[in-house]
Amino acid sequence: MSQSPVMERRSPDTGVGGRGPAEAAFIRIDGARKVFTQRSGGAVPVLDNVDLAIAENEFVSFIGRSGCGKTTLLNMIAGLEDVSAGRIAIAGKVVTGPGQGQGVVFQQHALFPWLTAVDNVAFGFRKSGLAKAERCRRALELLSLVGLDAAAGRYPREMSGGMQQRVSIARALALDPQILLMDEPFGALDELTRIELQQELLRIWEARRKTIVFVTHSISEALTLSDRIVLLASNPGRIKRIFPVDLPRPRLRTDPGFNALYQAIWNELST
Amino acid sequence: MTRKLVQALPPLAAFTVLLLLWEAGVRYGFLKPYQFPPVSRIARGFVELSTTGFPTGVSIWSHALTTILRVLQGYGAALALAIPLGLVIGALPVVDKLTAPLIVFCRSVATLSLLPLVIVWFGAGELTKVFLIGYGCFWVMLSNVIAGVRYVDPTLVRAARTFGLKGLELYRSVVLPAALPRIFAGARMALGVGFMVIVGAEMIGTIQGLGALIMEARTFYRSEITIIGMLVIGLIGFAISAGLMALERAMLPWAGDLDRVRR
Ligand SMILES: Nc1ncnc2c1ncn2[C@@H]1O[C@H](COP(=O)(O)OP(=O)(O)OP(=O)(O)O)[C@@H](O)[C@H]1O
Ligand SMILES: [Mg+2]
């Protein structure tokens, strides 16, 4: 695990991605709606008219009450869930399915229980056309990126929740996706591991230049990581407010700016 | 180890006392030997069965072998049909919906109630017995294979889809392995059904096999032989089931929780 502090990537005056109105959006969500049809035949509107533009290399977090539609929105960007109305485009191309540069870290454990850690990561290369040995070599490389080379031969059930989550991240990075969609990836971890993994993630984001959409329930996690925090309201899910986070990285909880924003988000979230 | 032995002592002692009381009960005329054959009688019966045989000439080993062969034939045929069919039906939700009521119906029909009909079809020979065993095993296996494929964790399928897998490849490399534990569980359940059917299936047209032995013993009021037949069926079922579990552990090392679940 890297302990090196993460440096501010952009000088503050260039404007953090996605906020300038004219700036080209990398991920563009236009009037996206989602309606689930229930078994009883009724229709539940889950997301209503979501508009959002995310710039390339931006780190955006979604925060909002349980059930407000964060996972659904993430899945729609991933191409795993249809859009009922409106559209979502990545780099100008309408999302019609997975495989348009989206890597996903799922909310629940989504490792294949019958594969060892290294094989789970190597699974990501299945359609890459690489030779088996090469896939394995790269998978090991990714595992060491998340600090897990020693556990390469273990099955998911033989790993702790935190280790499994790291394998999931390594696997999502397999095809070196431009976009990383992460659904509460550190939700079930202890505080220390969580902070370590946050630093790790920022390091990867730095080094590999990725656009990250990150779902979390933790305001301080969102503040530690993101360029912008998108607050969702529920019933139906919609964007309530967007908070730009203009604090230099590494971000400290003791920073007054950090605390002021924390308070502002808390107030907005709890009303 | 010693601790385990010590723990096993009280139930063992209780069991011995029970057997002794039973023995005494028969000796002093409280229990009728043809209703409650005592241990000594069962032991003598076993000696007779393994030497002269019952009916004369057919030893317990030959009965057991016949039964094992019949069960394995019916069971093997059932698995050979149910697994591929289940994999196909499970892959096609529409077909699954259409066939589900039929499968539930066929599985619910008590296998032995088919006996008269099956005799009309196939006569009273080997085929009838193997068919009945196969019938019982087939529906249980089929519904388990279908359920195994249908209830694969959708998150796993989604994860695979993000890496570009779809169609047959998705099915082969995600749905199939994910369904394996349930398929194995189905195979164990089906085996149980096979042994449940065996006595009835061997009731007619044969003096060979443990089922036939049990029925034959009844005619002669040789209850101790019925009990021996019962015990041997139990032991064989136990052994095959243990073999299946060992196979499962070897083939699915990643599932691993079998032991903990079972105890
Ligand atoms: N397949 C589905 N069918 C019907 N309703 C669904 C389905 N999936 C999700 N929902 C509903 O959509 C709403 C949003 O679900 P979603 O999983 O996106 O919430 P979430 O914001 O991720 O919640 P959490 O923070 O608890 O993970 C919920 O009310 C849920 O009940
Ligand atoms: Mg969610």
Query: Could you report the predicted ipTM of this complex, rounded to two decimals?
Result: 0.85
DSSP string, B79-120: HHHHHHHHHHHHH-HHHHHHHHHHHHHHHHS-GGGGHHHHHH
Q: Do A112 and B161 touch (CB under 8 A)?
A: no
Architecture of domain B41-250: Orthogonal Bundle (1.10)
A96 touches chain B (CB under 8 A): no
User: 3-class SS at B192?
Assistant: helix
For the entire predicted model, the pTM comes to 0.84
pLDDT band at B136 (very low <50, low <70, confident <90, very high): very high
Domain hosting A150: range is 111-176
Q: What's residue B220's pLDDT? A: 87
Residues of chain A with pLDDT below 70 are 1-23
B252 touches chain A (CB under 8 A): yes
Q: How large is the average pLDDT for residues B209-225?
A: 90
Residue A122 resides in a domain: yes
Q: How far is the CA of B146 from the centre of ligand 1 (A)?
A: 27
176-215 in chain A: CB under 8 A from chain B:
none
Residue A116 resides in a domain: yes
Mean pLDDT, rounded, of chain B: 90
CB hemisphere CA count around B155 (13 angstroms): 14
**CA nearest to B153 within chain A:** A110
- The 10s digit of each residue's pLDDT in A120-177 is 999 999 988 899 999 999 999 999 988 898 999 999 999 988 899 999 999 999 989 9
Report the C-alpha gap between A25 and A79 in whole angstroms: 18
A157 within 8 A of A140, measured Cβ to Cβ? no
A143 within 8 A of A163, measured Cβ to Cβ? no
B79 within 8 A of B187, measured Cβ to Cβ? yes
- The 10s digit of each residue's pLDDT in B108-117 is 988 888 988 9
Residue A163 resides in a domain: yes
Residue that has been written with the tokens 């529906």 in this structure? B139
**CA nearest to A154 within chain B:** B254
Residue A132 resides in a domain: yes
Q: Please give the tally of structural domains in chain A.
A: 1
Q: How large is the average pLDDT for residues B109-136?
A: 91
Q: Which residues of B touch A170 (CB under 8 A)?
A: none
Residue A248 resides in a domain: no
Report the C-alpha gap between B193 and B189 in whole angstroms: 6
Q: How large is the average pLDDT for residues B194-207?
A: 87
